[in-house]
Structure 1
Amino acid sequence: MKQVVEHQSDVLVIGSGAAGLTLALHLAEKSKVILLSKGPLSEGSTYYAQGGIASVFDEEDTIESHVADTLVAGAGLCDEPVVKFTAENAKAAMQWLITCGVAFDKEETPPGSTAEAPYHLTREGGHSHRRILHAADATGKEVQVTLQDQARNHPNITVLERYNAIDLITTRKLNRPGNRVQGAYIWNRDAEHVETVRARFVALATGGSSKVYQYTSNPDIASGDGIAMAWRSGCRVANMEFNQFHPTCLYHADARNFLLTEALRGEGAYLRRPDGTRFMPEFDERAELAPRDIVARAIDYEMKRLGSDCVYLDITHKPADFIIKHFPTIYKRCLELGIDITKDPIPVVPAAHYTCGGVMTDLHGQTDLNGLYAIGEVAYTGLHGANRLASNSLLECLVFARAAAEDIESQLNKIPMPGSIPAWDESQVSNSDEEVVIAHNWHELRLFMWDYVGIVRSDKRLERALRRCAMLQQEIQEYYSNFRVSNNLLELRNLVQVAELIIRCAMERKESRGLHYNIDHPHKDESPKPTILQPD
């Protein structure tokens, strides 16, 4: 008989990127925190974020300008008070990171100068000013490593690595009064058994769901776990149709997930057809600095029109030392693959990159379920609208983690520790003898999502996708009911649920706006609203 393992903490934080780490570190001053990581602590989208974090540091820039740029990129669907809240709290969040030891790049000062060097600010697509703080082209890595080192060494934070969250435990599921989160069932990947966490509060910081697509810039863990778990627990989701496809993912057999930061275009890189001609000026007056949805659709159009496998990102007209200094990670990685970016254009394709929708929350990150918070990419706050502005993603993680921490701290003395929770029951399941079913369903799901619910959609494609999704859901649920859990099964179960939510949201939106483009509804509605789905 397997040992029953139960953990207990004031707060369970599921996810260990910028959002989860920031929340854990803020809460740990006054409470006990369990930080759950599906893989190694560093394996998440934060670690791979290259570009930077948007915040007003330049005297010529303004919070109002940051707000305006975000609203324009969001194509009429941003929640303006949320945008203002985020922009107004950006600088404090950044200063906290700096206090933690995050080393953002600074300008060079003249020899002999004793003045403190200002931060080097770059500009990215959709921004009207230089306001992106960065650490070369590996900002996410700098943030992740700095914060995770502090979390590991904090006496009030218990880090559990290589654990999958299976499902949230609620009073409703336990047939107790009300509906409040009580903790979660988690799967220990190394010991291969299910454990229980009791907690007064639970925060989802699980990132997005881009793994639902065949081609993605995200790490393998981005499987929509938090969105699916929240939905199964009765939380609303919104705007799941808005999936951002990053325009420039490296096109190479040995580097399928390697992203080429938007800062390359911010510093003057051009997009070129295979024959060397530029094409972005033909699609938008902002050319390469247009918002990501416009750039991704332009690349997709040119590739399909020309029958080309890729287009090219070219920064060779800049000095070699400038390129190497500003983009050392990209320079090194491409050189390993035989591409010298100081001399050669870089082959690129669009790839699924960011989930703009998610679990609905308020300004404190609180969801529809009492005690459950969602922060970062897993959440729908209203900040991003129909398209996320570059470098607002890590910013959202930081601002809303701090807001959630304040809200949780204000309730710590009011909420008792949940009572006993039943152990996970495996008495009616057996070990899988058909892993090929998971592999086949996994491939089918990601392929039809790419083909039917990708950069360009149609009503017929969405209808086909929903029918296939329903068939897969039935198969996967039957499999889940009969066999012991595994990492691939848990991720597939969550991905197929998120796929359904994406498709249903896309079918409800009878217009084209931002990241959602439907050839059967090419025009914009005059009074757009968020697409909100409510569980049965």
Structure 2
Amino acid sequence: MTLQKEYLCDVLIIGSGAAGLSMALQLADHAKVMVLSKGALREGSTLYAQGGIAAVFDENDSIASHVNDTLIAGAGLCDETAVQYTAEHAREAMQWLIQQGVPFDQYQDQDGSMKYHLTREGGHSHRRILHAADATGQAVQITLVDQVKRHPNIQLLEHYNAIDLISAADKKRCHGAYIWNQQQRRVEVVSARFVALATGGASKVYLYTSNPDVASGDGIAMAWRAGCRVANMEFNQFHPTSLYHPDAPNFLITEAMRGEGAYLKRPDGSRFMPDFDERAELAPRDIVARAIDYEMKRLGANCVYLDISHQDHDFILEHFPTIYAKCLSVGLDITKEPIPVVPAAHYTCGGVMVNLNSQTDIANLYAVGEVAYTGLHGANRMASNSLLECVVFAQAAARHILSELPHAPMPPPLPQWDESRVSDSDEEIVITHNWHELRLFMWDYVGIVRTDKRLQRALHRAELLQQEIHEYYSHFKVSNNLLELRNLVMVAELIIRSAMQRKESRGLHYNLDYPNALPDSTPTILNPASLIQQ
């Protein structure tokens, strides 16, 4: 057996979005850091985030108000301690991003001073969204990438998949990970004193999603296989407004557009959100997505329409240049006509359970960002709290690791990857077929509206796919598509089982068999020790 390439570092960070890169920069002055990126360094969900980041900067706003808005949007399932912690550290996190060079929009006040332009989004009672036009995520990602590339203590590995975490025999301590070098097509191994998962969410499990291809639930699946608990996996946020056009897949229309006065309309031009909620277009995302889903099914329509054409032409171009340019590229002028939109899977509110230091159930293993369940989002994430969570908890994880680093032992020698009994696959069509089947039944049976019968059908199909993919994985060499499919089907089963346990409708989880919310509700927690692994 040929020896694989081995790496050694203080901290291995798996993922290169806002969470992973923020954490790397917080650590790098005092530790040797390695960042693993599945695609190009700039690729990932952060890059596509449009709206902005929530933090209290307005003197008329307050942390208490930010906390209260988040709790209301979370539909009674938020962890109040986590919400309070996040809101209290929001401004500090944004100041750090500003120091890194993120160009949030500013304007000149009447007294001549420069102030940050704050917008408002659904669920927020005040203007508290810092943004860089309508491409905030891109501004954050590009800024952080530029910073990490300059730091001598950060080693960047692009186009690498993490395969599995390497833990002690008792699964109580993490020592590193097996990684897949896509370009050399070989497995390598990383030994690390600490490992952090910053892999993002799992929205690629659905047929229609606003997320990039890399959002395949890798960190959640790896942590589950390693022995970590997961929580609230049934709460998948469907962004209400994704552009509906054959030439523009996966393009999000930011919620900030509704914050600046855009209306949702039926094909006949009439508004419908006031019929569903007194907050109309500014209701939380779960309510807006269900309203759109209901109207589309009721009318047999392929889409509804988001209309901001009544606003001033220059106002639209100033605030939404990215959306304007994208829509114009497919023949839509948003200053003159409405935008056809549909809901799309957007955000995984649940994830790997962590504490306020971002620690998981396994020593030396952390989870930060969308991969993690901190309790911040509850049953529904409020707009612009996602990038905020990435930075706040990246800082928390970095602080904790730096406090532990002086007395953290080096990892023991790690076992080599054994592929002596596997061969190259000659049937890639199996992966393609299973991939499509998985995403289709998850959309049909575990989507915006669910029933017990649909969930049971989905579980049956997920279990069959688990068996088939496990057999395939055991006999053939790994590949990018196989690794992602293996993780997605694992996460799909976790979503389904979580949804089946919740005998009510709350937030993003709506079950026609249990249309009402229970008077008392708790997070759904799944433990690998209590479920038979496939």
Q: Same fold judged by TM-score > 0.5? A: yes
| Other-structure match for 1:330 | 323
Give the alignment of 1:40-79 within 5 angstroms: 40-79=40-79
Which segments of 5 or more consecutive residues in structure 2 lack a partner in the other structure? 530-534
Q: What amino acid is the match of 2:15?
A: G
Query: What percentage of aligned pairs have identical amino acids?
Result: 73
Q: What amino acid is the match of 2:64?
A: E
Q: What amino acid is the match of 2:435?
A: W
| Other-structure match for 1:16 | 16
Cα distance in 2, alignment partners of residues 419 and 294 from structure 1: 50
| Other-structure match for 1:381 | 374
- Per the alignment, in what secondary structure is the counterpart of residue 118 of structure 1? strand
| Other-structure match for 1:33 | 33
Cα distance in 2, alignment partners of residues 67 and 96 from structure 1: 21
- Per the alignment, in what secondary structure is the counterpart of residue 190 of structure 2? strand
Cα distance in 1, alignment partners of residues 364 and 246 from structure 2: 44
Distance apart, 1:254 and its partner CA: 1.5
In terms of mean alpha carbon deviation, does 524-533 or 418-427 score higher? 418-427
| Other-structure match for 2:532 | none
| Contact preservation (8 Å) 2:354, 2:373 | yes
| Other-structure match for 1:202 | 195
| Other-structure match for 2:7 | 7
| Contact preservation (8 Å) 2:171, 2:362 | no
1:505 aligns with 2:498: yes
1:119 to 116, 128, 141: 116
1:155 aligns with 2:148: no
Cα distance in 1, alignment partners of residues 3 and 330 from structure 2: 48
| Other-structure match for 1:308 | 301
Distance apart, 1:87 and its partner CA: 0.1
Give the alignment of 1:43-442 within 5 angstroms: 43-109=43-109, 115-172=112-169, 179-442=172-435
Cα distance in 2, alignment partners of residues 269 and 216 from structure 1: 22
Cα distance in 2, alignment partners of residues 243 and 125 from structure 1: 17
Extract structure 1 runs of 4+ deviating beyond 4 A. none
Distance apart, 1:442 and its partner CA: 0.3
Distance apart, 1:240 and its partner CA: 0.1
- Per the alignment, in what secondary structure is the counterpart of residue 89 of structure 1? helix
Cα distance in 1, alignment partners of residues 118 and 492 from structure 2: 37
- Per the alignment, in what secondary structure is the counterpart of residue 519 of structure 2? coil
Q: What amino acid is the match of 1:289?
A: L
| Other-structure match for 1:494 | 487
Cα distance in 1, alignment partners of residues 239 and 349 from structure 2: 12
| Contact preservation (8 Å) 2:221, 2:487 | yes
Q: Give the RMSD, CA atoms, in angstroms.
A: 0.9
| Other-structure match for 2:513 | 520
Distance apart, 1:57 and its partner CA: 0.2
1:465 aligns with 2:455: no
Cα distance in 2, alignment partners of residues 352 and 487 from structure 1: 22
Distance apart, 1:116 and its partner CA: 2.7
Cα distance in 2, alignment partners of residues 460 and 218 from structure 1: 28
- Per the alignment, in what secondary structure is the counterpart of residue 235 of structure 1? coil
Q: What amino acid is the match of 2:68?
A: A
- Per the alignment, in what secondary structure is the counterpart of residue 76 of structure 1? coil
Cα distance in 2, alignment partners of residues 233 and 164 from structure 1: 17
String of CA shifts for 1:126-162, please: whole Å, max 9, x gaps. 0000000000000000000001111011000000000
Distance apart, 1:68 and its partner CA: 0.2
Distance apart, 1:431 and its partner CA: 0.1
Cα distance in 1, alignment partners of residues 256 and 304 from structure 2: 18
Distance apart, 1:2 and its partner CA: 5.1
Cα distance in 2, alignment partners of residues 121 and 107 from structure 1: 10
Cα distance in 2, alignment partners of residues 351 and 108 from structure 1: 37
Q: What amino acid is the match of 2:356?
A: L
String of CA shifts for 1:186-234, please: whole Å, max 9, x gaps. 0000000000000000000000000000000000000000000000000
Distance apart, 1:3 and its partner CA: 5.4
| Contact preservation (8 Å) 2:434, 2:465 | yes
| Contact preservation (8 Å) 2:178, 2:187 | yes
Q: What amino acid is the match of 1:334?
A: C
- Per the alignment, in what secondary structure is the counterpart of residue 245 of structure 1? strand
| Other-structure match for 2:438 | 445
Cα distance in 2, alignment partners of residues 250 and 417 from structure 1: 49
Cα distance in 1, alignment partners of residues 445 and 415 from structure 2: 42
Distance apart, 1:415 and its partner CA: 1.2
| Contact preservation (8 Å) 2:171, 2:227 | no
Cα distance in 1, alignment partners of residues 415 and 84 from structure 2: 44
Cα distance in 2, alignment partners of residues 293 and 259 from structure 1: 16
In terms of mean alpha carbon deviation, does 139-148 or 417-426 score higher? 417-426
Cα distance in 2, alignment partners of residues 397 and 99 from structure 1: 17
| Contact preservation (8 Å) 2:171, 2:226 | no
| Other-structure match for 2:468 | 475
| Other-structure match for 1:531 | 524
- Per the alignment, in what secondary structure is the counterpart of residue 505 of structure 2? coil
